[in-house]
């Protein structure tokens, strides 16, 4: 009976080792050479399961890259836990934590997308979870400087696989060098102002594809709570500041999913001034996903573009965990179809913001949906940038027929 039980639960090896150790106690050398590690003897290099291990994004390798300026990678996941400039519910400082938690069922060894036909965790690009930028929660002006310094630092780390980046036709910086792609995990949307500052320095003015229920180009002079210069920099005004500071390319950006209320038509006139076109949430029923996708691509063209995704673009029934929810949003399925259609654009950075897990369900529905969007971002990067020179040549050839 005992033999059967010990075989069943695999105890015999463990018991043998401990008996062996006991008998050889007087001979340390013999003990160490004969030592059998009960885990590694049978289970060496077992990968972590979805529910085990320290929680990095998708169980990826991780390090605090800000403390290792020479660390090389091609794609960095960078948490930015700042939420000191929100207009309604706070809590997005826990967004990076929630995104990592929501990503636990993503694993490098099970990361193949049957739709996009790529495993972004097993491509020739090295993806690293770079940890967070530790920003002060007490002083927004300083926190924004910290985000700026942290993002710039990561953006200037060396890339790991330059040849592959070249093959993927990715954009070089104005300095003639390749820079890592960063997926920022917010944080409230204000973090995109210092992010655009950093990207502008490397690439010049960029376009933005902005998924959101809100325009975030509010002119601070017309925005609620404009009581000081610092109060004017917040998660509803940062795109206006980015426009004023020249970070955004004129008339080359677009919002998608808009449905909030406005003070009046002047808000929308300011939005045009800031360089944005606009797709309403309701357009998806009137015109469909392909129309939305075509409109985005026609607006952006081939230039460097940033994809900035506020999770409130999704309906609060899908993603309740956000600070300023608005009814009538897209499903995660609709949004993911639109994202998938953006493969081939010249994307230089992604961010996902405004995930505020205190308002999530116990089932983490928001965090899981948001982490899946990050998987799509990674897949889009792994598939590279469409070679427009080749495509234009082909299009011309067809036209000539
Ligand atoms: Mn929003």
Phi, psi of 122 (to 5 degrees): -135, 45
Q: Which domains does the chain have, with CATH numbers?
A: 2-43 (no CATH), 57-392 (3.40.800.10)
DSSP string, 284-333: HHHTHHHHHHHHHHHHHTTS-EEEEEEGGGB-TTT---BSS--SS-B-HH
Q: 312 CA to middle of ligand 1, Å?
A: 5
Q: Give the chain's length.
A: 401
Q: 344 CA to middle of ligand 1, Å?
A: 26
Q: 330 CA to middle of ligand 1, Å?
A: 13
pTM across the whole model: 0.90
Q: 189 CA to middle of ligand 1, Å?
A: 8
157-211 residue pLDDT tens: 999 999 999 999 999 999 999 999 999 999 999 999 999 999 999 999 999 999 9
Sign of CA dihedral 197, 233, 266, 289: positive
Mean pLDDT by 10 residues, the chain (401 residues): 47 44 46 82 94 97 97 98 97 98 95 97 97 98 98 98 98 98 98 98 98 98 86 97 98 98 96 98 98 98 98 98 98 98 98 98 98 98 87 42 36
DSSP for residue 122: G
> Residue 189, annotated ligand binder?
yes
Q: 19 CA to middle of ligand 1, Å?
A: 64
What tokens appear for 73 in the block?
A: 């990678």
Determine the pLDDT at residue 1: 42
Give, to the nearest 10 degrees, the angle between helix 2-9 and helix 11-23: 100
Buried b (16+ CB within 10 A) or exposed e, 146-168: bbbebbbbbbbbebbbeebbeeb
> Residue 83, annotated ligand binder?
no
Q: 324 CA to middle of ligand 1, Å?
A: 6
Determine the pLDDT at residue 163: 98
Q: How many CA atoms lie within 13 A of 122 on its CB side?
A: 11
CB 137 within 8 A of CB 93: yes
Nearest to 342 by CA among 373, 394, 297: 297
Determine the pLDDT at residue 388: 72
> Residue 214, annotated ligand binder?
yes
> Residue 48, annotated ligand binder?
no
- In the beta sheet, which residues pair with residue 113? 118
Determine the pLDDT at residue 16: 43
Q: 216 CA to middle of ligand 1, Å?
A: 7
Q: 350 CA to middle of ligand 1, Å?
A: 16
Determine the pLDDT at residue 4: 52
> Residue 67, annotated ligand binder?
no
Long-range CB pairs of 30-39, under 8 A, 24+ apart, other chains included: 38/13, 38/14
């Amino acid at each position: 009976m005992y033999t059967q039980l010990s075989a069943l639960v695999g105890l015999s090896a463990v018991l043998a080792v401990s008996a062996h150790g006991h008998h050889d106690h007087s001979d340390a050398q013999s003990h160490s050479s004969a030592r059998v590690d009960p885990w590694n003897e049978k289970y060496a290099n077992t990968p972590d399961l979805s529910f085990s291990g320290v929680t990095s994004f998708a169980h990826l390798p991780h390090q605090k890259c800000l403390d290792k300026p020479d660390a090389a990678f091609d794609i960095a996941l960078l948490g930015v836990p700042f939420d000191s400039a929100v207009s309604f519910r706070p809590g997005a400082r826990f967004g990076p934590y929630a995104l990592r938690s929501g990503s636990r069922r993503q694993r490098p060894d099970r990361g193949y997308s049957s739709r996009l036909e790529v495993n972004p965790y097993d491509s020739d690009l090295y993806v690293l979870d770079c940890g967070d930028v530790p920003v002060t929660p007490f002083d927004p002006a300083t926190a924004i400087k910290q985000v700026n310094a942290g993002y710039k630092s990561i953006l200037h780390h060396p890339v790991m696989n330059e040849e592959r980046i070249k093959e993927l036709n990715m954009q070089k910086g104005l300095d003639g060098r390749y820079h890592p792609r960063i997926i920022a995990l917010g944080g409230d949307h204000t973090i995109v102002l210092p992010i655009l500052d950093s990207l502008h320095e490397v690439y010049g003015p960029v376009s933005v594809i902005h998924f959101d229920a809100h325009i975030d180009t509010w002119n601070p002079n017309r925005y609620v709570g404009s009581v000081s210069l610092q109060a004017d920099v917040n998660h509803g005004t940062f795109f206006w500041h980015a426009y004023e500071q020249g970070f955004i390319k004129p008339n080359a950006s677009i919002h998608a999913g808009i449905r909030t209320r406005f003070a009046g038509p002047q808000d929308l006139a300011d939005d045009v001034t800031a360089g944005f076109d606009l797709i309403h949430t309701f357009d998806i029923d009137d015109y469909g996903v392909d129309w939305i996708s075509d409109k985005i691509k026609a607006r952006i063209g081939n230039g460097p573009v940033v994809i900035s995704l506020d999770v409130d673009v999704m309906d609060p029934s899908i993603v309740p965990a956000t600070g300023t929810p608005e009814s009538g949003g897209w499903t995660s399925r609709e949004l993911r179809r639109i994202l998938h259609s953006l493969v081939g654009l010249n994307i230089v950075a992604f961010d996902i913001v405004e995930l505020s897990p205190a308002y999530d369900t116990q089932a983490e529905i928001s965090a899981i949906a948001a982490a899946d969007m990050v998987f799509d971002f990674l897949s889009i990067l792994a598939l590279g940038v469409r070679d427009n020179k080749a495509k234009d040549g082909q299009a011309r050839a067809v036209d000539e027929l």
